[in-house]
Amino acid sequence: MITIKFFASLKAIAEKEDEQIEIQNSISMDQLTDIISKSSPKMTDLLRNKKVMISVNQEMADSDTVIHDGDEVAFLPPFSGGSFN
Amino acid sequence: MSTTTDSKIRIQLENFSVTDEIEAMKKVSRNIGGITTFLGTGRELSKGQNIAQLNFEHYPKMAEKKLEEIRQQAIKDHGIIDMSIIHRIGPIEIGENIVLIVAVGEHRKETFTACEWAIAELKRVTPIWKRETTTNGEVWVQDTP
């Protein structure tokens, strides 16, 4: 089981804040993208166009990151903390 | 979320006192000869729109972790003695404090560069998001691609 979290603008797009997904041992980022595209279809374009960042266990992930059972995966829109530019 | 000045990295709902935070950092070392602060506050006008309120959301644990990494790197790379970073979340009114960075060092030069680097890095790598409420509704701000 992995935990998926959506933040900020992505909550409305995914229409959820988090979800649990059963996986066998481990999955690739491509496999994760396919799973999320099915469970949250409105996320598909953002994922394909790489307009969201993905973290695994609070560390930024890349296309080679492998997701293991028990991991926490988060979908992160571009950050906007701090004050104005 | 602690509101004491003990921790040098804090993400909190409550407002903070700039004076208290500076005084807390002055106690870090008797070798401090320069202190630079950056205070970000809620501005009324953004991209031609009047803003009624701001609201900040963060990714707990990851945001604190990134701020601590920024603090450690600022100390290592800029040669300052120490740094504190405080960021508020939740609703913020116009004119209220949003973020404070306090860099303390032996000399002023390294504290200026460390402070400027830290706020830019915070905006680049820290999972914190800003939502603006304007007369046209609410919008999530995406400063960086």
Q: pLDDT by residue (tens digit) across B62-95? A: 999 999 999 999 999 999 999 999 999 999 999 9
For residue B40, what pLDDT is reported?
96
Q: Is residue A85 part of a domain?
A: no
| Parent domain of B113 | 9-141
| Assigned domain for B26 exists | yes
Residues B111-144: tens digit of each pLDDT: 999 999 999 999 999 999 999 998 888 889 875 4
Q: What is the pLDDT of residues B27-75, one digit of tens each?
A: 999 999 999 999 999 999 877 888 999 999 999 999 999 999 999 999 9
Q: Closest approach of chain A CAs to the CA of B129, in angstroms?
A: 5
pLDDT tier, B145 (very low <50, low <70, confident <90, very high otherwise): very low
Q: Is residue A82 part of a domain?
A: no
Domains held by chain B: number: 1
B34 located within any domain: yes
CATH of the domain at B44: 3.90.1170.40
Assess contact for A79 and B70: CB atoms under 8 A: no
Domain assignment present for B1: no
User: Nearest 5°: phi and psi at B143?
Assistant: -70, -40
**Residue of chain B nearest A57, judged by CA positions:** B62
Residue A11 sits in which domain range?
A: 2-76
- Secondary-structure percent of chain B, ordered helix, strand, coil, rounded to 5: 30, 40, 30
B130/A80 touch (CB, cutoff 8 Å), yes or no: yes
Rounded to 5 degrees, φ, ψ at B95 are 90, -15
- Measured between alpha carbons, how far is A78 from B12 in angstroms, rounded to an integer? 21
ipTM confidence score: 0.91
**Beta-carbon separation of B140 and A77 below 8 A:** yes
